[in-house]
Amino acid sequence: MEKRFTPAAKTKEELKALQLEGLKWTVKLAYKGSPFYRKRLDEAGIKPSHIRSLNDLSKLPFTTAKDLQEGYPFPLLSVPFEKVVRIHASSGTTGKRKVLCYTQKDIDEWAHFFARCYEMAELNREDRVQIAVGYGVWTAGVGFQLGCERFGAMAIPVGPGNVDMQCQFLIDMQTTVMCCTASMGLLMAEEVHRRGISDQINLKKMIFGSERSSDAMRAKIKEMLGLEHLFDIPGMTELYGPGTGLDCVYHTGIHYWADYYILEILDPETLKPVPAGETGEMVVTTLRKEAAPLIRYRTRDLTRLISGKCPCGSILPRHDRLLGRSDDMIIFRAVNIYPGQIDHVLSGIEGIGSEYQIILDRKEDGKDYMTVKVERAEGVEKERERELSRKIGDEIKKQILVSANVEMVEYGALPRSERKSKRVFDNREF
């Protein structure tokens, strides 16, 4: 099928030229239109004319979530109100909520690059896309829907939860693609299984947004539903919403839309680039965003860049799935641990389920202790618990260099949620 949503740039050089043009445009727009950015740039001694190459990006000051909160309710606004056609907000209490403005150009471009996600996932216009994420002030529902309509497939806007209706629509509408969180994906897989409706549905692909998911969890969902592909879609309200990248059908990492934003991977402590391929914080600078452009926005999300060429031939660069948030980092006996590392260890072990919890306690001896609760996989006998827990403990020790008590529980014992599952319980008092 003819590709309609690929970048205007055909080579890496053209992509860089496009980025430089976008960077110059963004700094100029922000300097001219936003008192916040003008002040920030003046303090850093930067004028728009100082941006002459992509290397000049490193001279620009950072923007943080705190800047968004302080600018509430219309932070970073860089155009007159008459050009604003919509707002979206992230979850959080008033004042902590991030509100972002959009112009019509922003909305159109978001729909365009979201359509690219469906194109990259190799959907066609016959596909029926059940959208089971939140609608309302959130970016999720409307983002998935606009992208789907722009692409030309059929959107089925069910929204989150409502498992009965989800199952009914999978049968009645013969949905081929479902968009939801990974937790919801697992819940659906288990429901379809429990209700015995596998042979009445036509689901082929799932697209997961807004949550990290372990390899084990994904493998389980894929197997239970007999899916061809599972895709990961990253996104945050600050950067339009979901749809800012997707792993292609080769699943070698997430291609991200480098014609819409520049991604830097920086050490969260030093704010210098990490060595190639190492994990660091994602820092984004938008290239076309009008109402609320981002200049070196610290996302707090952790990932790493993936080098080399993808078999799909796309020139769009790749980053790994999200490893967690720099805020979620656990400091345990002087070792920095990201929950994603535990995911990674567990996903390499056969015989266990995808759900887990990390519990941290401080005991009378003043030392910290970590307990990792893990479910046995479905159908695995209780007799194997001792062997499995020893294996998990050994792997955690080997890969993360810490000791953990491993507690096995039966399949289905840990809570499932339609939204993000809470996995870290830190009971230590500081």
d(CA 86, CA 210): 22
Query: How near is the Cβ of 6 to Zn ion at its closest, in Å?
Result: 12
> How many residues of this chain bind Zn ion (CB under 5 A)?
4
Please, which residue, 314 or 371, has the CB nearer to Zn ion?
314
Nearest to 248 by CA among 338, 160, 146, 122: 122
**Beta-strand relationship, 128-131 and 177-180:** parallel
Which of 158-166, 308-316, 322-330, 409-417 is the region at the interface with Zn ion (rule: CB under 5 A)? 308-316
CA distances from 403 to 340, 372, 384, 392 (A): 17, 10, 21, 10
Which of 5-13, 188-196, 307-315, 372-380 is the region at the interface with Zn ion (rule: CB under 5 A)? 307-315
Examine residue 312 and tell whether it contacts Zn ion (CB under 5 A).
yes
Question: Phi first, then psi: what are they for 108, rounded to 5°?
Answer: -65, -40
Nearest to 106 by CA among 229, 287, 288, 259: 288
Taking phi first (over 0 means left), then psi (-120 to 50 degrees means alpha), and beta for anything else, what does residue 280 get?
A: beta
d(CA 141, CA 117): 15
Amino acid at 104: Q
Amino acid at 382: K
Examine residue 306 and tell whether it contacts Zn ion (CB under 5 A).
no
Please, which residue, 6 or 314, has the CB nearer to Zn ion?
314
Nearest to 322 by CA among 274, 256, 229: 256
Examine residue 352 and tell whether it contacts Zn ion (CB under 5 A).
no
Please, which residue, 27 or 310, has the CB nearer to Zn ion?
310
d(CA 310, CA 296): 27
Cis amide bond preceding 268, omega within 30: no
Please, which residue, 68 or 305, has the CB nearer to Zn ion?
305
CB atoms within 10 A of CB 367: 9
Which of 172-180, 220-228, 303-311, 398-406 is the region at the interface with Zn ion (rule: CB under 5 A)? 303-311
Which of 217-225, 227-235, 261-269, 302-310 is the region at the interface with Zn ion (rule: CB under 5 A)? 302-310
Please, which residue, 236 or 310, has the CB nearer to Zn ion?
310
Question: Phi first, then psi: what are they for 400, rounded to 5°?
Answer: -115, -10
Site string for Zn ion, 240-269 (x = CB under 5 A): --------x---------------------
Asked if 359 contacts 226 with a C-beta cutoff of 8 angstroms, the reply is: no
Query: How near is the Cβ of 293 to Zn ion at its closest, in Å?
Result: 28
Which of 125-133, 161-169, 313-321, 415-423 is the region at the interface with Zn ion (rule: CB under 5 A)? 313-321
Query: How near is the Cβ of 308 to Zn ion at its closest, in Å?
Result: 11
Query: How near is the Cβ of 253 to Zn ion at its closest, in Å?
Result: 8
Question: Phi first, then psi: what are they for 208, rounded to 5°?
Answer: -100, 130
Please, which residue, 36 or 151, has the CB nearer to Zn ion?
151
Query: How near is the Cβ of 177 to Zn ion at its closest, in Å?
Result: 19
Please, which residue, 317 or 324, has the CB nearer to Zn ion?
317
Please, which residue, 248 or 360, has the CB nearer to Zn ion?
248
Nearest to 400 by CA among 355, 362, 363, 346: 346
Query: How near is the Cβ of 179 to Zn ion at its closest, in Å?
Result: 20
Please, which residue, 122 or 149, has the CB nearer to Zn ion?
122
Subset of residues 375 to 414 that bind Zn ion, contact rule: CB under 5 A: none
Query: How near is the Cβ of 210 to Zn ion at its closest, in Å?
Result: 22
3-class secondary-structure state, position 302: strand
Contacting Zn ion (CB under 5 A), which of 133, 310, 345, 396?
310
Subset of residues 152 to 171 that bind Zn ion, contact rule: CB under 5 A: none
Query: How near is the Cβ of 321 to Zn ion at its closest, in Å?
Result: 14
Query: How near is the Cβ of 313 to Zn ion at its closest, in Å?
Result: 7
Asked if 298 contacts 62 with a C-beta cutoff of 8 angstroms, the reply is: yes
d(CA 307, CA 318): 7
Q: Which residues form the interface with Zn ion (CB under 5 A)?
A: 248, 310, 312, 314
